[in-house]
Amino acid sequence: MMNVKYSVVVPVFNEEEVISESYKRLTNVMREIGEPYEIVFVDDGSRDKTFEMIKDISKSDNAVRLVSFSRNFGHQPAVSAGINESSGEAVIVIDADLQDPPEIIPKMIKKWKAGFQVVYGKRLKRQGETFFKKLTAKMFYRFLSSMTNVKIPVDTGDFRLIDRKVCDTFSALTERNRYIRGLISWVGFSQTYVEYIRDERFAGETKYPLKKMIKFASDGIMSFSYKPLKLATYLGFIVSAASFVYMIVVIIQRLLGHAAAIGWASTIAALLLLNGITLIILGIMGSYIGRIYDEVQNRPLYIIKDKIGYDEQEKND
């Protein structure tokens, strides 16, 4: 197989409704560029016809590669696998749902050829998303930026072009609970962006419901910040100080002959508040400890069941 200049990494999970259109638009864009390329689809344990559809496409297009997982490992491991299994001098990561338009890729390549090693897509608008999704996304990106010491660009996703040197550095990172856009920022190198309007999903349903979004946000914060632990410490000091002050007030009232008001409601309210704070602190600590447990198990980030479109030598590698 010939060496390629560009690798387009496309993580997919139950995307049978968009695969054909996604392949068509990506192929049109890459052929217009006029340089060698490959499209690496990573099937994250799909349960529909996604795998079969991509396999059929690969039979008629030798630029298409397919990496299939043994089960669903998640979007971030799928992106990681695509980067690891790509061979291009520049790697473009894009989702199959066409919310990030492939037609932006030439602008990214132009920036890369100008000397930048990471070119990420920055969203000006988000079409077809609910007000709640837009608001929470905006709040999260700004909250994450304020919580971390690493400068992570706001209003960006995993849609980006990454130079081979950056990819090799990224592939050497070993953590399992990944927030890729944060890791790419952390490794450094020269980075810039291109602006675009994010389109409505072409078809199908989002693969990031609220539960997964909360997990994703948690990974982003805990991968790049210890501030939640510090916050728990500060909160403990504040509660302790407030309790001490209240105790002094009660003693003074006793010395002045005033009986302290006693009531079940205030007692229970205070207990609920203190126990609630304690549980929050334990929860934060438990989340960090759980991440440590995941890391020390040293299990692989993903397991590949099959690779299609690669020659035998690459399979052995």
Q: What percent of the chain has pLDDT over 70?
A: 67
Q: Are 65 and 39 within 8 A, CB to CB?
A: yes
The span from the CA of 108 to the CA of 103, in Å, is 10
The pLDDT of residue 54 is 92
Residue 1: pLDDT above 60?
no
* pLDDT tens digits, one per residue of 207-256: 555 566 666 666 666 666 666 666 766 776 776 677 667 667 666 766 77
Superfamily of 6-224+300-316 according to CATH? Spore Coat Polysaccharide Biosynthesis Protein SpsA; Chain A (3.90.550.10)
Measure CA of the first residue to CA of the last residue in the chain; give whole Å.
14
- For 287, residues 6+ apart whose C-beta sits below 8 A from its C-beta are 218, 222, 228
Q: Are 30 and 68 within 8 A, CB to CB?
A: no
Ranges of each domain in the chain: 6-224+300-316, 227-297
Provide the pLDDT confidence category of residue 132 given band limits of 50, 70 and 90. low
Q: Are 157 and 181 within 8 A, CB to CB?
A: yes
Q: What are phi and psi of 211, to 5 degrees?
A: -60, -45
Return the top range by mean pLDDT from 31-45, 168-182, 215-229: 31-45
* Least confident among 160-174, 184-198, 245-259: 245-259
* Average pLDDT rounded to a whole number, residues 60-71: 91
Give the pair of three-digit tokens for residue 91: 């790697």
The pLDDT of residue 288 is 76
The pLDDT of residue 162 is 92
The pLDDT of residue 253 is 66
- For 164, residues 6+ apart whose C-beta sits below 8 A from its C-beta are 88, 89, 90, 91
Residue 265: pLDDT above 90?
no
The pLDDT of residue 112 is 92
The pLDDT of residue 188 is 81
3-state secondary structure of 110: helix
Residue 71: pLDDT above 60?
yes
Strand-by-strand arrangement of the 118-126 sheet: 191-198, 118-126, 156-163, 90-93, 6-12, 37-43, 64-69, 304-308
Supply the pTM of this predicted model: 0.68
What does R_g of the chain's alpha carbons equal in angstroms?
25
Which of residues 203 and 316 earns the better pLDDT score? 203
- The DSSP secondary structure of 159-226, one letter per residue, reads EEEEEHHHHHHHHT---SS--HHHHHHHH-S-EEEEEEEEPPPSSS--S--HHHHHHHHHHHHHHH--
The span from the CA of 299 to the CA of 277, in Å, is 34
The span from the CA of 309 to the CA of 39, in Å, is 10
- For 246, residues 6+ apart whose C-beta sits below 8 A from its C-beta are none
* pLDDT tens digits, one per residue of 92-124: 999 888 888 899 999 999 999 998 999 988 887
The span from the CA of 121 to the CA of 106, in Å, is 12
The span from the CA of 186 to the CA of 169, in Å, is 11
Distances (CA, A) of 124 to 155, 167, 184, 214: 8, 26, 21, 23
Closest to 54 measured CA to CA, from 90, 91, 18, 101 = 18
Distances (CA, A) of 88 to 41, 139, 278: 14, 35, 50
